[in-house]
A and B are shown apart, each in its own frame.
Chain A
Amino acid sequence: MEHVARLARLSLTDDEAERMVGELSGILEHVEDLAAIDLDGVPPTAHPLPLVNVLRADEVGPTLDREEVLAAAPDAADGRFRVPRILDAP
């Protein structure tokens, strides 16, 4: 549970973690039910619609205004997004 929470960048209290363990087990059991179905010869679904090759031409379109884009960010500097230190101190 802790590992999954860390991957999703969620910090859970002990109570929450306990509750989530129960809920996740329920979900996994439901997925187990699916395993009971005979799926031999059924290809996996990658997309819900029966479409392939939805493509666009390689033509340049409009871009966003930089000031507007950076104004929406919590912090910016020097024309770039400013983010807090990425790795924890060693």
Chain B
Amino acid sequence: MSVYEAVIGLELHVELATATKLFCSCPNEFGAEPNTNVCPVCLGLPGSLPVLNARAVELALRLAEALDFDVPDRSIFARKNYFYPDMPKDFQISQYESPILSDGRLEVDGATVGIERAHLEEDTGKTVHMGGGGRIHDAEHSLVDYNRAGVPLMEIVSRPDIRSAEQARAYVTELRGVLKAIGLSDVKMEEGSMRVDANVSVREAGAAEFGTKVEIKNMNSLRSLGRAIEHEIERQSAMLDAGERIIQETRHWNEDDGTTHGMRTKEGSSDYRYFPEPDLTPVAPTDEQRAAVRGALPELPAQQRSRLVALGVPEAAARTIVEAELTTYTTSATVSTATTADVANWVQGEVLARVNAEDADPEEKLPAARLGELVDLVAEGTISRAQAKEVFDQVWGTSKVPREVVKDQGLAQVSDEGELAKVIDDIITANPKESDAYRAGDDKARGKLQGFFIGQAMKATGGKANGQLLKKLLDDRLG
């Protein structure tokens, strides 16, 4: 059996976060009643004319800055002709030979993935197949909702620079972060505002030629993207091992059985009879437009990560925080660099768990400054980490202030050395057997017994004793 290398290219479709559709002023919104966001333009009624949304061009120019794209002097729209009831015009307005952006790149975990092009196009309507179990092949008829027809999409086509399912997931994760950061899209894969198709081929390791590529579609989460690519690499490798030939085709990922299935062949690219859209003028971004966008570009995920790491946040935590869009929250909660790592810990732990569970804005539930105060209370030794968790539960979602909760409930830990020394001495006197065992024991035995003594002391103080101080006092006496 040979050793194979996978060659993967990804095509992302993302819905743009505009207020209106690409060529008409119908609202661009998810979940409206069927066929309520429609007008003569997106219904393809005779005599209607499309006009391009200025915001879509602005978002494309932002993407150009973020991914280092070239912006051609002129790009044009094209009609992609096909017969399917999801587009009432019987063509889709897209870009073909001259996309708005070309030749970009994205750094993914130290490797550069080239991006061939990104272009604007309109989304199609939504069809529901009735009868025959909802499958298009067996349906008796179909129902069509044109709310989504004309919604602006950006198609982003990577070069075949990706070599594994893991790298594919990392690329999509990083790209999604960029798209979110620059406000281009809300990129919710599950709601369909981001769709990913993969071109996968395999070749013998070290070969210069590419193998025959297969396009896989219908992955609706990052996880299924990874699974589908892994499955396809295995399928193709097994075929080559068996001396079979790979056919260039489009295959559908089936989430339930974890395999890909061949699809009925569609009209080929030349059958789409692309031609320039005569109803739209070319797009020619001006230097002023580009400069305005450049000046207002938000911080990208990679920059956010470096900034957090420079503040003292561990690399892995920085990744989680940036992905969860909690960078600003984290930096606002950080009072001094001495406690940055602690703040990050809280943010990627308790805060993120609550944000996910409640789909909440953390700043509303617990202002960052108050989280910083809570971290300080632990750092200065006023409360223990366990007590802090209790306080956190009380201040989250309420208007309570951590320092006041500690005061009102007498939560402050006992750090008075004289008081704690007396507690420890009493416990030692009451437990002579354990005390002797501690004195004579090795590190392991001591570790166990330390738990016993600290536990007793905590019990005696109602859980308020300063743990660090207890350990020191115990060691002074029995060590």
Contact = CB atoms under 8 A, between A and B. Distances in A.
Interface of A: 7, 9, 44, 46-49, 51-64, 66, 69-70, 77-87, 90
B25 A60 contact: yes
B3 interface: no
A61 B273 contact: no
Contacts of A52: 74, 281-284
B8 interface: no
A84 B139 CA distance: 9
Contacts of B271: 7
Contacts of A61: 20, 24-26, 39
A47 B278 contact: yes
B152 to A, nearest CB: 10
A44 B76 CA distance: 11
Given A56-B54, A60-B27, A86-B127, A81 B35 contact: yes
Interface string B72-84: 0010100001011
Given A53-B281, A59-B20, A66-B35, A81 B143 contact: yes
Interface string B137-174: 10111111110000000000000000000000000000
Nearest to B59: A58
A62 B36 CA distance: 10
Grouping DSSP codes into helix (H, G, I), strand (E, B) and loop, the A interface class, with mixed when no group exceeds half, is loop
Contacts of A79: 33-35, 145
A54 B40 contact: no
A86 B85 contact: yes
B78 to A, nearest CB: 9
Interface of B: 18-20, 24-27, 33-40, 43, 51-57, 74, 76, 81, 83-85, 127-129, 136-137, 139-146, 264, 267, 271, 273, 276, 278, 280-284, 286
A90 B281 contact: no
Contacts of B129: 86
A12 to B, nearest CB: 17
Given A61-B25, A82-B141, A55 B35 contact: no
20 contacts: A46-B74, A47-B282, A53-B284, A53-B286, A54-B51, A56-B53, A58-B18, A59-B19, A59-B20, A60-B25, A60-B27, A63-B39, A64-B39, A78-B34, A80-B143, A82-B141, A82-B143, A83-B142, A84-B141, A85-B142
A58 B19 CA distance: 6
A86 B84 contact: yes
B20 A47 contact: no
Contact of A78 (B143, B267, B276): B143
Given A47-B76, A58-B55, A82-B142, 17 more contacts: A47-B280, A53-B283, A55-B53, A56-B25, A59-B19, A60-B19, A60-B26, A61-B26, A64-B38, A69-B38, A78-B34, A80-B128, A80-B144, A83-B142, A84-B141, A85-B139, A86-B129
Nearest to A88: B137
Contacts of B25: 56, 59-62
A34 B27 CA distance: 45
A56 B51 contact: yes
A70 B18 CA distance: 27
Residue in B25, B26, B51, B146 with the greatest tally of chain A CB atoms within 10 Å: B25
Residue in B53, B136, B143, B146 with the greatest tally of chain A CB atoms within 10 Å: B143
Contacts of A54: 51-52, 280-281
B291 to A, nearest CB: 16
Contacts of B267: 7
Contacts of B74: 46, 52
A49 B143 contact: no
Contacts of B54: 55-58
Contact of B137 (A66, A83, A90): A90
A86 B139 contact: yes
A82 B139 CA distance: 12
Contacts of B136: 86-87
A81 B281 contact: no
Given A59-B20, A85-B140, A87-B136, A70 B35 contact: yes
Contacts of A59: 19-20, 25
Which 7 residue pairs of A and B lie closest in terms of their CB atoms, listed nearest first?
A61-B25, A58-B55, A80-B143, A55-B54, A52-B284, A46-B76, A81-B144
A63 B52 contact: no
Contact of A81 (B33, B51, B146, B284): B146
Contact of B39 (A62, A80, A87): A62
